[in-house]
Amino acid sequence: AQKITQTQPGMFVQEKEAVTLDCTYDTSDQSYGLFWYKQPSSGEMIFLIYQGSYDEQNATEGRYSLNFQKARKSANLVISASQLGDSAMYFCAMITGGYQKVTFGIGTKLQVIP
Amino acid sequence: EAQVTQNPRYLITVTGKKLTVTCSQNMNHEYMSWYRQDPGLGLRQIYYSMNVEVTDKGDVPEGYKVSRKEKRNFPLILESPSPNQTSLYFCASSLSAGQVLPEQYFGPGTRLTVT
């Protein structure tokens, strides 16, 4: 069975500091993808970043980077230079089964302090 | 504007009264999926569809039905809703199925309460 584990229910970070949100995954598939989504208090799901299992370089999108360590089965999200607008729930997710089935973690609530 | 729409956005209903939540996308996406979000559980996949007339169960399909008669629409049907189906429901779509698909586009969500 596929599983995503996010062990940090809540995190605080000072504005302008970097923060790492942890995500570990478990799958027996060789081909899979890992995502991070942001859910602000307004409720919408916002795609942040994607990493394929065969990608050798870590994915980056602006202030977001994904620290992919395949041997450790981890896909941590790094947010650099945190902003107040980064306060939200963050979900790690994985797509497996021939890129069909999606599994989400339970999320991490990030609060950015001025 | 490229988007995924869901209707209704909010619904309060009673146990056993059949209901349908509609989902429509205007991006010609092949892949569509339904999720439910519950506190402390994250999002869980209910059903997904790789293309027209192709649907499959996710992790929590019990009590739900779906259909994919047209590419743009993927309705979620609760034949006999029960209180444990009270949840926030999201529909999502992405460009292609069976390949690397970097991004799913999510609808705004439907908050369902079953009393």
Name every chain B residue with its beta carbon within 8 A of the beta carbon of A37: 106
Share of chain A above pLDDT 70, in %: 100
Distance from the Cα of B97 to chain A's closest Cα (Å) equals 7
Q: Do A33 and B106 touch (CB under 8 A)?
A: no
| Nearest residue of chain B to residue A51 (CA atoms) | B102
**Residue B83: both structure tokens together:** 């209180």
Q: Summarize pLDDT for B41-80 with one digit per residue, the tens.
A: 999 999 999 999 999 999 999 999 999 999 999 999 999 9
Distance from the Cα of B104 to chain A's closest Cα (Å) equals 7
Name every chain A residue with its beta carbon within 8 A of the beta carbon of B48: 100-102
A50 to chain B, any CB pair closer than 8 A? The answer is: yes
B59 to chain A, any CB pair closer than 8 A? The answer is: yes
Q: Summarize pLDDT for B78-87 with one digit per residue, the tens.
A: 999 999 999 9
Report the b/e string of A101-111 with b at 16+ CB within 10 A.
Answer: bbbbbbbbebe
B39 to chain A, any CB pair closer than 8 A? The answer is: no
Residue B72 region by backbone torsions, left for phi larger than 0, else alpha for psi between -120 and 50, else beta: alpha
**Residue B76: both structure tokens together:** 């979620």
Cis peptide before B108 (omega within 30 of 0): no
